[in-house]
Amino acid sequence: MKMDIHEILRKLPHRYPIILVDRVLEVVPGERIVALKNVSMNEPYFMGHFPGHPVMPGVLIIESLAQACALLTYVTLQPKEGDGTLFYFAGIDAARFKRPVMPGDQLRLEAEMGRVKRGVGKFTGRAIVDGNIVAEAEMMCAMRNTSEAA
């Protein structure tokens, strides 16, 4: 299964400037996802991180991975669109950054789903540029219904 940006926007609540997945190349429900984030000089954070030497903040690389994990969870658990279901980033362990990500890079976001229990999924993810791992982490994503929280 593949997803373009329109399908991604139907599944994730994120919008500019925080939508950090541009395309899904492959998703196998309950198993894995491969997605892309094109890193452009037009990203708003490059104005201050760092002037003269733009580097994508590590937390945004991890957020890109978390959004890919949310998409995998969505496809796996299949909530109804528009029912108030959100996927929250619930935890991170063993995050490592191997090299800077700069404008013009394309992040290949790969994540595998571990177990899912009571709407909380565990994942192992890595961000890759030109075949080299630039970041990796273990993450958790929690599915919650916003209409029940009110």
Alpha-carbon distance 89 to 20, whole Å?
14
Cβ-proximal residues to 37 (8 Å cutoff; 6+ apart), any chain = 20, 21, 22, 64, 106, 107, 109
What is residue 112's predicted lDDT score, i.e. its pLDDT? 98
For the chain, domains (ranges, CATH) are 5-149 (3.10.129.10)
Q: Which one of the listed residues 6, 14, 49, 53 is annotated catalytic?
A: 49
pLDDT tens-place string over residues 55-64: 999 999 999 9
Chain Cα centroid distance, residue 16? 14
Q: What is the total residue count of the chain?
A: 150
pTM of the model: 0.94
Whether 53 is catalytic: no
pLDDT over threshold 80, residue 150: no
pLDDT over threshold 90, residue 91: yes
Taken in order 40, 61, 69, 148, is the CA torsion positive or negative?
negative
Portion of the chain with pLDDT greater than 70, in percent: 98
Contact predicate 77/143, CB 8 Å: yes
Query: What integer is the mean pLDDT of 125-136?
Result: 98
